[in-house]
Amino acid sequence: MSFVPHDQADRQHMLETIGIQDEEELFATIPQNLRLTQRLKIPGPLDEENIRRIPQGQFSHVCFAGGGIYRHHIPAMVDALANRQEFYTSYTPYQPEISQGVLQSIFEFQSMMAALTGMYVSNASLYDGATALAEAALMAIRAKQIKRVLVTRATNPRFRSVLKTYLDNTGVKLQEIPFDMASGQVERFSLERLNGEDAALFVQNPNFFGILEPMDCIAKFARQSAFWGIVVSEAVSLGLLKRPGDYGPDCVVGEAQSFGNPPNAGGPLLGFMCTTKEHLRRMPGRVVGLTKDSRGRQAFCLTLATREQHIRREKATSNICTNEGLCAIRAALYLAAMGPRGLRAVATQCVAGAHQILQLIQQVGRQPVFKGPFFHEFVVQLDADKRKALEDDGIIPGVPIEYYYPEIKNGLLVAVTEMNTREDWKCLLENL
Amino acid sequence: MPARESIDHSLEILEPLLITHSRPGRNKHILPDPFKPCVPDELLPFMNPEEVRLPDVAEVETVRHFTRLARMNFGVDQGMYPLGSCTMKYNPKICENIAERIRNIHSSDKHPMHMVLRALAALQRYLEEICGMDACCLWPAAGAHGELTGMLVVKKAFQTRGEDRSVVLIPDTAHGTNPASCAIAGFTTRNIPSGPRGFLEAATVKAHLDKDVAALMITNPNTLGIFEQEIHEIAELLHANGSYLYMDGANLNAILGISRPGDMGVDCLHVNLHKTFGTPHGGGGPGGGPVLVQSELERFLPIPRIVHVPRELFTLSYSFPDSIGMVQSTLGNVSVLLKAIVYIIRLGPKGLLEASRTAVLNANYLKARLKDHFDLPYATPTLHEFVLTDKRQKEQGISTMDMAKALMDFGFHPPTVYFPLVVSGAMMIEPTETEPLSELDRFADAMLTIAEEAAQYPQALHDKPELTPVTRVDEVYAARSLCLTWDMLESKDDGAVSK
Amino acid sequence: MSIPDDLKFTKDHEWGRIEGSHLRVGITDYAQSELGDVVFVELKSIGTKLKAGESFGTVESVKAVSDLYAPAGGTIVEVNQELEQAPELVNQDCYGAAWMIVLEMDDVSETDKLMDAVAYEQFVASEAR
């Protein structure tokens, strides 16, 4: 019933080699009072067909949900290659001589992420965008002994929530910078009063509402703070927008699920961190470097390991060990499959679609909540009953955001990607 | 004056970097284009005027590139992977199959999410039963993330009690993640020695207890493969002192259905789904590190929590005011969680018990075959893994690293090496339950051959491995010449780094 | 293993060369051989005030990292920038080119507490046992 390959004769032979009569003797070191005397109360064993018969939910085909997790086209070759056993059944590549596949793939991931963000270096991945932001804040604390972390309130609320959890025991204060209710961009007045010498500042762009922040202006003020970072929650935006690194931040962190990883009911996701040469040795997580083997051939291995927990223990740059390796390999495969024009074309489809659909929505009398320029998401108001009725019909019109932003009554964040067909938007418009 | 080493461009290249295949126009992938591709004028100032720098490569070349790379990598489906404390067991294919079902579900898609949450609620119950704990949170994305979550829960419990306890005791056999996780949670750590028999003694714990001690983090069985025989007394000492017992569940694969952390007196633990519950490791993740607690600590668990409204749906609730808050963007690595559920119900209670019993049998069989030829630092009986050292081979100048590298030429992944830190030159071997007798024998024979070679022709072992895609990799060169992206490789072309 | 006669030594395997009120500091031959190939040296900056036994930086090999401790109290007046570019100097010339910092000592008599070459040689022999 399990995946144990032995028969009774094998077991007998093994017991004889060990020199015992009964398998029970192997467990003699477990005190009797700590032994479980009854069978575990869990179901099974089930055969594969019975497992397959367990009911599953049908996903809604008409889906305009985003908010940090996006549906994008994934080229078939991504699955074909990522599902190879050499990638998905291997361990962390600690033994480089038999791990060149994972190592070089991650090196290529790092290279492409650094190129797309315009930063010096990328790590090999973090859990998700939220923990990547939290790790960036911890890095800022190590780098500059800051007293405050400032984050724009239009940064993904889930990211801010995790950031708060991570900062709770550091003695560093978390403050939010409000957004302007008209434009959806960061409130300029608050930005001008930052006084960030003792603070790290983080800005998400495009922000949670899909709005493009005035990055040139933000960068001007951000440079006065001790440390600043740009948060990217929709990695596809890197295919079209100015590179975040060009604004001169200390780090660019975020979520790269959009690169070849399906929504998967919430995860796994793909956190990333890119940073400058100055902060390289403070960067959390693994990193792959190029080197040579004993015969002078190009090879790859994990490097800068002395930053990590297995060597520096309580003084490590992070506690992270297992990361999201396979998701990073998927991202490398995706970016390779898309190429420079492909990624730009996808981003263009997203932007064009969102603007065209909003125009049609405006024609049926609904106005967007914010007037600022936007990427591929926008906020409208739709009352909860109407939304639920749509959801019951298998149409997900967007992600409700009133829970996070009570001031936006019935706020609905609508995301458009290249996966939304012509039928989808007809369907949405007819039912709004 | 010696210059910093720079990348040597005369290196022979086995598989060129993808960027070297790049020529403008080679990528001809066709994309879905439901919309007229025009960008509104107001966005032009935000756009990158240049094309992004990605390789422009034909599909067939990309596929072959990554196929060739894959063939330079070792996986569990290929052979034994006896990494101690990593539990590299066979990853059942049915788990992958079922996990594919949730691929297209967005986490805001309420109706199918109800079914997903129902399954996740079941996984919580199964893990609670297997571990003998009262409550479970599935969201931590890996073991270290689970440790951090657990220690934040402990921190919050003290804050709620109005106590400011700052110290966590950690035995010297612990994983490096333990102290690192404690540091982020705002604790300082105090290292305590394990006893001469390879387990932590209650007397040692007692000597280190004071009112500043918040918790002890223990791995059971520990990283020597030895069951912490005094764990129950240790738990009682801690509890009498108002402290908690945290267990690192990395080695749970030894005791499924045999002994439960909850019954040992553990207050909080994490389990590693990618070790114990058969989910693949993915070349370094995604993993799964659910956290389990006793009822006293339940209210501090991360939000959201899965709640079941009777006769209605499974939903998520954020209304837990004492919670430490969120630890991950959404629901953790959901597809990994799903694979773990399938693993558990595929095996059932009898299968899980058989798995653990066999994991212990396999490890003891290997130990029996090897113990006369290698130094065995502890005589105490071991469970699912054991530690050997290079003490005997050192006399011929052969180190654990040499032997690990030599194993690759026999078609094995090496064991965990140089860990735990308490043992000099450690080789930590965990075969897991899914290795057939023939493979165990092949491994033991390989180890004996290496021991023989170390005694007879030690010089040859320094040059191992020879049959792998690349020979011994120079980690010093990697660290001194630091080349971490394509761009750094290119910028080194002009020799700018040499002074 | 080389242990120059004209130097003072700490139990953490730093050496110090007294140059008037200054102390030139590095790590010993024993320390570099225990560490293995040094890949990175990080030193605190000029002007940093240190007490005896306080860390003035770290030295890293591929698999280990060690703190560096000031043999005596004082202020850092010179830092060997060369080591940032060429950490392998620590393995090649630990008593010469791989000096790490120069301290302006607060109290020169603090060096009396350090070991001389004979005492250090005995100390290393006892450590190795």
Please judge whether C63 and A311 are an interchain contact, meaning their C-beta atoms are less than 8 angstroms apart.
yes
Please say if the pLDDT value at position B104 is more than 70: yes
Q: Do B479 and C62 touch (CB under 8 A)?
A: yes
Range from B116-125, B330-339, B481-490, C120-129 carrying the lowest mean pLDDT: C120-129
- Residues C5-45: pLDDT tens digits? 999 999 999 999 999 999 999 999 999 998 999 999 999 99
From chain B residues 229-248, the ones with a CB under 8 A of any chain A CB are: 229, 231-232
B105: left (phi over 0), alpha (psi -120 to 50) or beta: beta
CB pairs < 8 Å spanning B and C: 26
A310 close to C (CB below 8 A): no
| Domain annotation covers residue C1 | no
State the pLDDT confidence band at A310, using cuts at 50, 70 and 90: confident
In a domain, C3, yes or no: no
Residues B357, A22: Cα–Cα separation, whole Å:
12
Check whether B496 has a pLDDT greater than 50. no
Whether C30 maps to a domain, the answer reads yes
Rounded distance between C-alpha atoms, residue A311 and residue A318, angstroms: 11
The B268-271 sheet, strands edge to edge: B135-137, B291-293, B268-271, B244-249, B213-219, B167-171, B188-192
Beta bridge partners of B167: B188, B213
In the predicted model, is pLDDT for residue B11 greater than 90? no
- B34-54 residue pLDDT tens: 999 999 999 999 999 998 999
HSE of A5, CA atoms in CB hemisphere, 13 A: 13
pLDDT of residue C129: 59
Question: What is the pLDDT, as a whole number, of residue A364?
Answer: 86
Full residue range of the structural domain in which residue C29 is found: 8-127
Per cent of chain B over pLDDT 90 is: 92
- Are the C-beta atoms of B370 and B416 separated by less than 8 Å? no
C37 to chain A, any CB pair closer than 8 A? The answer is no
Q: Cβ C39–B2 below 8 Å, yes or no?
A: no
Can you tell me the distance from the alpha carbon of B162 to that of B177, in angstroms, rounded to the nearest whole number?
Answer: 28
Of C40, C62, C88, the CB nearest to B2: C88
A337–B59 CB contact, under 8 Å: yes
Using the Cβ of C63 and the Cβ atoms of chain A, whether some distance falls under 8 Å is answered with: yes
Q: Which residues of A touch C65 (CB under 8 A)?
A: 306, 311-312
* For residue B131, pLDDT beyond 50: yes
Write out the DSSP string of B88-144: -----HHHHHHHGGGTT--TT-HHHHHHHHHHHHHHHHHHHHHHT-SEEE---SSHH
- Closest residue by Cα to residue C86 from B1, B4, B5: B4
Contact of B31 with chain A, judged by CB distance below 8 Å, is answered with: yes
d(CA A398, CA A413): 5
In a domain, C37, yes or no: yes
Q: Which residue of A has its CA nearest to B380?
A: A29
Residues of C in contact with B5 (CB under 8 A): 88
Calculate the average pLDDT of chain A: 95
Q: C92 to chain B: nearest residue by CA?
A: B2
Q: Is the model's pLDDT at B1 over the cut of 50? A: no
Q: Average pLDDT for residues B367-372, to the nearest whole number? A: 97
Least confident of A199-213, B12-26, B145-159: B12-26
Reduced to 3 states (helix: H, G, I; strand: E, B; else coil), residue A253 is strand
B496 min Cα distance to partner chain A (Å): 16
Verify whether the Cβ–Cβ distance C64 to A311 is below 8 Å.
Answer: yes
- A210, pLDDT greater than 60: yes
Confidence at A69, pLDDT banded by 50, 70, 90: very high
Contact C86 B3 (CB under 8 A): yes
Note the pLDDT of residue A365: 87
For residue C33, give the CATH number of its domain: 2.40.50.100
pLDDT digit string, tens, across residues A221-256: 999 999 999 999 999 999 999 999 999 999 999 999
Q: Looking at the complex, report in whole angstroms how far the Cα of residue A260 sits from the nearest Cα belonging to chain B.
A: 12
What are the residues whose beta carbons fall under 8 Å from the beta carbon of A245, sequence distance 6 or more?
A: A117, A118, A119, A252, A274
Determine the residue of chain B that is closest to C62 in CA distance. B476
The percentage of chain A sitting over the pLDDT mark of 90, rounded to a whole number, equals: 87
Model pTM? 0.95
Peptide bond into B420 cis (omega under 30): yes
Residue B499: per-residue pLDDT: 26
Q: What is the pLDDT of residue B2?
A: 41
Mean pLDDT of the residues in chain B: 94
Chain A residue numbers touching C62 (CB-CB < 8 A): 305-306
- A78-104 confidence digits (pLDDT tens): 999 999 999 999 999 999 999 999 999
Inform me whether the C-beta atom of residue A305 falls under 8 Å from chain C C-beta atoms.
yes
Taking the C-alpha atoms of residue B400 and residue B420, their distance in angstroms, rounded to an integer, is 13
Domains of chain A: 62-71+339-431 (3.90.1150.10), 76-334 (3.40.640.10)
**Looking at the DSSP assignment, which residues form a beta bridge with residue C57?**
C43, C68
Cβ-Cβ contacts under 8 Å for A358 (sequence gap 6 or more): A368, A378, A414
Whether C92 sits inside 8 A of B2 (CB atoms) is yes
- B 98-127 residues with CB < 8 A to A: 98, 101-116, 119, 126
Q: Do A97 and B14 contact (CB within 8 A), yes or no?
A: no
Render B367-417 in DSSP notation, one character per residue.
HHHHTTTSB-S--S--SS-EEEESHHHHTTT--HHHHHHHHHTTT----EE
A7-50 pLDDT, tens digit per residue, is 999 999 999 999 999 999 999 999 999 999 999 999 989 999 99
The total of structural domains in chain C comes to: 1
Residue C93 belongs to some domain of the structure: yes
What pLDDT digit, counting tens, does each position of A117-173 carry?
999 999 999 999 999 999 999 999 999 989 999 999 999 999 999 999 999 999 999
Three-state secondary structure call for residue B353: helix
What are the chain A neighbours of C40 within 8 Å (beta carbons)? 281, 306
| A57 and B313 Cβ atoms separated by less than 8 Å | no
| φ, ψ at A368 (rounded to 5°) | -70, 150
* Residue A218 tokens, joined: 């933000």
Residue of C nearest to B477 (CA): C39
Q: Is the pLDDT of residue B186 over 60?
A: yes
Chains that touch B (3 or more CB pairs under 8 A): A, C
pLDDT, tens digit, for every residue of C64-105? 889 999 999 999 999 999 998 899 999 999 999 999 999 999
CB-CB contact of A1 with B348 (8 Å): yes
- Residues on chain A touching C61 (C-beta within 8 angstroms): 306
pLDDT higher than 50, residue B494? no
Where is C81: in which H helix or E strand? Answer: none
Domain membership of residue C2 (yes or no) is no
Give tens-digit pLDDT for A177-197.
Answer: 999 999 999 999 998 888 889
Looking at residue B5, what DSSP letter applies? P
Q: Quick one: pLDDT band at residue A316, thresholds 50, 70, 90?
A: confident
Element (H, E) at C104: strand C101-105
Is C94 inside any structural domain?
Answer: yes
Q: Which of B14, B54, B120, B346 to mutate to test the interface with A (most CBs of A within 10 A)?
A: B54
Residue A270 to residue B262: CA distance in whole angstroms: 33
pLDDT exceeds cutoff 80 at B250: yes
